[in-house]
Amino acid sequence: MPITFSFLNQPVTFTDRIDWNYAANGKLWTYCLNYFETITSDNGLALIYDFIRQTPNLRDGLEPYPTSLRVLNWRTFLLDNNINDPLVERHLYAQTALLRSRLEYHLGGNHLLENACALTIMAVHFAERDWFVQGSQLLQDQLIEQILTDGGHYERSPVYHQLLANRLLDVYAVLHADTWADHLALTDLVRQKIGLMLGWLRAVTFRNGDVPMVNDSAYGVAPDTATILLKAQALGLQPTAVALGESGYRMLITSRLECFVDVGPVGPNHQPGHAHADTFSFVLHVDGQPVIVDPGTSTYQADEQRNWERSTAAHNTVAIKGQNSSEVWSAFRVGRRANVTLISDTQGHLCASHNGYRYLADQHTRSFTLSDEKTLVINDEFLSKNLIKLCSFHMNPFLHLVDEGHELKTPSLSIHYKSEGHASTRLVAYNFSAGFNVLLPAEKLIIDVDNTTVTTYLTVL
């Protein structure tokens, strides 16, 4: 009987048998197939049996990351449906043992944290003391390393942050209900880190419920902030009040404006694979609706679209001489990267400088100032007068800018600028990512500058 799976907005129908190694849509699609996140009481057991039958021929599906997610999804399915199947339990045990022997220390980041969560939960599930000692120590170490002092996850992707906060709630629920292992210290640490992560999420979530789609973030991938907060509340957990700091993100807010700003590192030095060259980019909401947006992420394939989505030109910042502020290459690589110096950081004013263009003998200093409830002023300064600077503003795909010379307008926002030397504007098309493999036509404003300063005024109408 034919069965259709749809992941990353790409449906695939298997007619004769499921190909768990299906690779035509890229590795991430294969991973999603092997996560088992969509199994239901109607088809779950049959799919699990099929996977077990094909285990000797599996490739990507037995890698540590999909294994980490799958064992937890199988466990939840079995418990929710009151299924006690010795064959499935033996296979779950074997998968966890395999995971334990292949923990992703070489990758670190969210991969290793997911490994730690899975090993800890499955250790409790099977009452395996050695597994628990190893998993709980790894989980403790990674929480201390990966959760920053302001509660942000160190890879600085709001969507991965949501995924990991949701996962840690699962870990907490298991630890809180368990009486087998001695884990009071670990439970307290998990509770503390969850509180910080929830506080960070609340601080960066816009009034409409969205998080900014910065770095590798995509719509339709993670539970939203409201869902995560409700799940936490049901477990007796609440957000910890935080001030945005170490993660490098800030929010400038008035009654009508919400401006999310990036003035931090692109990611952890040893693992910036999900980073974009987006230093000093921002996202702007007006009256609770997105107006200037991040184009987002539509693919993890190492192709032209991936290169563009990670580039400086694909963000609301300045590209000097058409180059990237940090050297992003391949699908998940970063070479030379911008270092940020924070100059001023107050409630209504933010100023910083980065050296990502030191190889061009230039430097970018940008300030954001809320001059009143309705106006955001962005000032850009450079060392070089002669190098061309491209200052980009990516518009919501459902909005159209009307060019009135030095002023451009949407129904809710006016944009105008001034510069000491020559500057000009143009509107160009770009593709906005509404999710993986979903691109919408949109337009962006580019201000071309060949001098040392340009000031842009964004005023609510």
> Is residue 241 pLDDT above 90, yes or no?
yes
> Is residue 183 pLDDT above 90, yes or no?
no
205 lies in which domain range? 3-234
Q: Are residues 224 and 284 part of one domain?
A: no
Looking at residue 128, its pLDDT comes to 96
> Pick from 370, 286, 401: which is nearest to 392 by CA?
401
Q: Are residues 303 and 222 part of one domain?
A: no
φ and ψ at residue 277, rounded to 5 degrees: -85, 65
Q: Are residues 267 and 166 part of one domain?
A: no
Q: How confident is the model at residue 403 (pLDDT cuts 50, 70, 90)?
A: confident
Domain boundary among 204, 234, 264: 234
Question: Tens digits of per-residue pLDDT, 360-397?
Answer: 999 999 999 999 999 999 999 999 888 989 999 999 99
Mean per-residue pLDDT, 36-47: 90
Looking at residue 181, its pLDDT comes to 77
DSSP per position, 259-300 = EEEE-S-SS-TT--TT--S-TT-EEEEETTEEEE--------
Looking at residue 386, its pLDDT comes to 84
Q: Are residues 432 and 295 part of one domain?
A: yes
Q: Are residues 263 and 228 part of one domain?
A: no
Output the domain CATH number for residue 421: 2.70.98.70
Q: Is residue 240 part of a domain?
A: no
Output the domain CATH number for residue 211: 1.50.10.100
Q: Are residues 280 and 198 part of one domain?
A: no
Looking at residue 197, its pLDDT comes to 98
Question: Tens digits of per-residue pLDDT, 147-167?
Answer: 999 999 999 999 999 999 999
CA–CA separation, 292 and 73 (whole Å): 37
C-alpha 35: how far from its chain's center? Answer: 19
Q: Is residue 245 part of a domain?
A: no
Q: Are residues 368 and 402 part of one domain?
A: yes
Q: Are residues 184 and 297 part of one domain?
A: no
Q: Is residue 115 part of a domain?
A: yes
SS3 string, 108-136, reads: CHHHHHHHHHHHHHHHHHHCCHHHHHHHH
CA–CA separation, 122 and 118 (whole Å): 6
Q: Is residue 302 part of a domain?
A: yes
Mean per-residue pLDDT, 433-459: 95
Domain boundary among 200, 234, 268: 234
